[in-house]
Chains A and B, each alone.
Chain A
């Protein structure tokens, strides 16, 4: 049965199918009715459960807008959840690909999971993985896999502009960087340090494992000479750190990684809100951004989800998954829903996409199938009676190496706890 669909799709070919559809000819019932199966993989367990929920919300909203159709075929979705651990993400991806027989997987959400799925994608033939929201740079920068696509910018890219802001605009010499001890924060720390240290700054790094909720001993180790804190934690860890830093009476200026100044944090109540006012962060989105497409997106999100547990505005994970699904749907439209032929046509369409994401930033993929797009500097302000991130700066078309020539960037080595990217300008 499976084989027959395959053959027919092949026989028809992309042009045939397109012609048939446009001229109103009836395409064979099998090809027309068999839905395209998408596997949505995110995390509904563990530290990023909130981001995972929001990813599903944003994608569901987009799919509803498209009437669950793309390229003339029905879209069927299989949802799966991991807990932000690479082995679990891999097991769930296997389940999606091998048992549920999905055509495309959209996911995963966090750093190490992304690298695991990139490696897994190489073992798959005729299937595509489109990254959800995971932001480790190595996922696409080193050992890129031909059928792994990423329409979101990575953790290193997200920090573009922040290092210079701290060193030049705020005129801070030395910072303490507090970060989670796994792939995504490494990438963020790397992006920050690359700019900051080139501009002559110095930094102390304090890493702690993902899932740390007691930061008191880490807080005790912040050097007295530090002029600002760069906090690259997210989710529960971020909330725990901020609450405990506020409780300990901390008062250094705060700068945030991209999942720090997120609605996950801002919508939680507590003493951390006081110290987070005015915090500057960098990332691919903000709550308040004067761009019609963004305002429309936020309004749509709020209308759909505010009464069903949604945030005041979409989270970074929701936004990234939304962009990924946008890419997938556009490519499916282009190939008229043809995911046969080892998905070669579909993947070529994905690779060639150029569009504006919801933030109104131009987006295209580089030779590693990694997004190049705009990054924003945001400040947390009180708007409409609640804390929101507001854009005040923009770094256009940030690529994965932050403008450093690729060979030179690769020579710096992969971001890790021991390779923070803090190299002074020569």
Chain B
């Protein structure tokens, strides 16, 4: 591989990892506190993307410069509300029954996918961020590189930092961390755990929605993307360690890099590389690279 190609591929891997981190961090957060394997996480991504697009498109047609930002806001809000409703109506009262929750969320994802198809149709769509974010940037030694991919890194870093601050510097974070360690004890201490759960679920879902809009700006989205991002989130979180923000970052980085390097070197089999990493991690360190033993 020649030098500039290697750098481009590495940068591609980094930017893809950024997107995966945004999406998977929500998944990891929800799992960390509630032990819910949310199989509808991909649907949250798609709900965010589609609702965001529904808000974005008419504004974009009128050339409003803030169209994309409104789309981002709407996407986050829609996914958060959807997640909230899911936790409140379905998952809340089967707390602790992991298998049942997983099955219910699979059901939700199937229903959501069909409803999205009925409402939005099968056309692939894509967001167009303002020109300042969407053109190409001249990078030393590389030439033109899509600006938006660099924006992705910025958003991921902001999300990572925000989550770290939230978890380590706020009261809510304190409760979440305590809840991860011992739910029952936390309840006994008088904390309204179901309420904390709702907040965390909304936050995790909102992150998936943010991922939906960011991802939908970087690459087109259509029916079926939900499954892809669910699978990626699962792999990222399994590799990095369930419930750990830093672990999610490490997992996203490994998976993103593996995908891009694989695509450049042996495109046909690039998918295998991702799963090889997962298999290796499961064999050597089943709790994930930064995960704590159960």
Chain A residues within CB distance 8 Å of chain B: 44-47, 49-50, 52-53, 83, 181, 206-209, 211-214, 216-218, 220-221, 235-236, 239-240, 243-244, 247-249, 264, 267-271, 309, 417
Chain B residue at minimum C-beta to C-beta distance from A250: B144
With A44-B117, A50-B124, A206-B267 given, can you name 8 additional A-B contacts, CB distance below 8 Å?
A46-B224, A50-B121, A214-B260, A216-B260, A240-B124, A248-B144, A268-B124, A269-B128
A44 cross-chain contacts in B, Cβ below 8 A:
117, 122, 223
Contact: A244 with B146, CB < 8 Å? yes
Provide 15 A-B residue pairs closer than 8 Å at the C-beta atoms, listed in order of the A residue.
A206-B267, A212-B263, A213-B219, A214-B218, A214-B263, A216-B149, A220-B5, A235-B222, A243-B219, A243-B220, A247-B135, A249-B144, A268-B125, A269-B128, A271-B128
Contact: A240 with B219, CB < 8 Å? yes
Q: Is B134's beta carbon under 8 Å from chain A?
A: yes
A207 vs B126: C-alpha distance when bound (angstroms): 23
Q: Is B108's beta carbon under 8 Å from chain A?
A: no
User: Beyond A220-B8, A264-B123, A268-B123, is A214–B259 a contact (Cβ under 8 Å)?
Assistant: yes
Chain A residue at minimum C-beta to C-beta distance from B215: A213
Chain B residue at minimum C-beta to C-beta distance from A309: B121
A209 cross-chain contacts in B, Cβ below 8 A:
267-268, 270-271
Chain B residue at minimum C-beta to C-beta distance from A270: B126
Contact: A53 with B121, CB < 8 Å? yes
A268 vs B128: C-alpha distance when bound (angstroms): 12
Contact: B136 with A248, CB < 8 Å? yes
A211 vs B232: C-alpha distance when bound (angstroms): 13
For chain B residues 78-129, which have a beta carbon within 8 Å of chain A? 113, 117, 121-126, 128
B144 cross-chain contacts in A, Cβ below 8 A:
248-249
B264 cross-chain contacts in A, Cβ below 8 A:
217-218, 220-221
* Residue interface mask B137-169, A partner, CB < 8 A = 1: 000000011101100000000000000000000
For chain B residues 1-45, which have a beta carbon within 8 Å of chain A? 5, 8-9, 12, 15-16
For chain B residues 232-272, which have a beta carbon within 8 Å of chain A? 259-261, 263-264, 267-268, 270-271
A269 cross-chain contacts in B, Cβ below 8 A:
126, 128
Q: Is B228's beta carbon under 8 Å from chain A?
A: yes
A221 vs B220: C-alpha distance when bound (angstroms): 21
Contact: A236 with B220, CB < 8 Å? yes
A53 cross-chain contacts in B, Cβ below 8 A:
121-122
A141 vs B145: C-alpha distance when bound (angstroms): 44
